[in-house]
Structure 1
Amino acid sequence: MTVRTSRLLALLALASLPAWAQMTPVGRWHTIDDETKEVKSEVVITEKDGVLTGRIEKLLRKGADPNRRCTACTDDRKDQPFIGLEIIRGVKPVEGRAVWEGGTILDPESGKTYNVRLTPVEGGAKLEVRGSILFIGRTQTWVRAN
């Protein structure tokens, strides 16, 4: 292999690092309303000691009440403000796959908690968020926020 070819391969490898680094749920995400298809909120997913959590950072839906509280919640999040509310808990990576699961996701509007699976798609530009109880569930697609 020539020096020129080695340099070219090294450059290509470095150029692909940002895309590969985005193949994680960690980051800022815009949630999309199932019915209107409009941006609903911004959720920030963070990682600590290999475990992911996610909090509502902003309410983006037109006319959203910034002081809204989780009145439907039945656990420690009862009556907590939507902004700052931890909706994703205890999610861990699945060995050998670009999937994170094992935790829960809260629907703050209904107060219901579901098992969750997070799967980055389209090079990490989108996140498939699957909430389920047993085999019944639904998948939403969140869009990475800039």
Structure 2
Amino acid sequence: MKRIALILFVFLTYSLSTFAQTSADAIVGVWFNKDKDAKIQIYKKGNEFFGKIVWLLHPKDDEGQDKRDKENPDDQLKKRQIFGFEILHDFKYNADDKQWDSGKIYDPKSGKTYSCKISIKDKGSINVRGFVGISLIGRTDVWTRATI
């Protein structure tokens, strides 16, 4: 009987630790932005999460050149290419709130960087909330899971 209890305890402990790990990694993958004109790959580095643009619906500008970060307020950064650019930085999983917070998001359409938090909306979508100061002053976009 003790042996069965021990096996059951080990199984439950393993299951719970696997579930906890899966919860933190739930945003890892490729996501369409709300306009479906870009795909962002969210990945983990150490204990933090980042995201970069891995696909663009329109990768070229009007002159046929690769799109650049032309809205950036820093003139030196206006030349960097949008494709492959890391737009999500330094997110940490908060198990208590079941969200990823303390991160930043860069919007290449406006050239602005915002504080940001991410939460799971449902199985195939996430809420990405960018804000200035407190999260009450901001906007939430829904991103949907995509394939590469």
TM score, norm. by length of structure 1: 0.74
Q: Give the Cα–Cα distance (whole angstroms) in 2 for the partners of residues 31 and 111 of structure 1.
A: 16
Structure 1 stretches of 4+ moved >4 Å: none
Question: Does the CA-based 8 Å contact 1:56-1:84 persist in structure 2?
Answer: yes
Q: Kindly report the root-mean-square deviation, in angstroms, between the aligned alpha carbons of the 2 structures.
A: 2.8
Question: Does the CA-based 8 Å contact 1:77-1:85 persist in structure 2?
Answer: no
List aligned pairs for 1:1-146, cutoff 5 A: 21=22, 24-33=26-35, 39-60=36-57, 63-65=58-60, 67-74=66-73, 77-123=77-123, 125-134=124-133, 135-146=136-147
Structure 2 CA distance for partners of 1:126 and 1:77, relative to 1, 3 Å: farther
**CA deviation profile, 1:70-92 (whole Å, cap 9, x unmatched):** 02224685421110011001111
TM score, norm. by length of structure 2: 0.73
% identical equivalent positions:
30
Q: What is the match of residue 7 of structure 1?
A: none
Letter in 2 for 1:55: K
Which stretches in structure 2 are left out of the alignment for 5+ residues?
Answer: 1-10
Letter in 1 for 2:27: P
Q: Give the Cα–Cα distance (whole angstroms) in 1 for the partners of residues 129 and 102 of structure 2.
A: 12
Q: Give the Cα–Cα distance (whole angstroms) in 1 for the partners of residues 27 and 96 of structure 2.
A: 16
Q: Give the Cα–Cα distance (whole angstroms) in 1 for the partners of residues 143 and 97 of structure 2.
A: 19
Q: Give the Cα–Cα distance (whole angstroms) in 2 for the partners of residues 143 and 137 of structure 1.
A: 20
Number of residue pairs the alignment of both structures matches: 128
Which stretches in structure 1 are left out of the alignment for 5+ residues?
Answer: 1-9, 34-38
Q: Give the Cα–Cα distance (whole angstroms) in 2 for the partners of residues 79 and 122 of structure 1.
A: 37
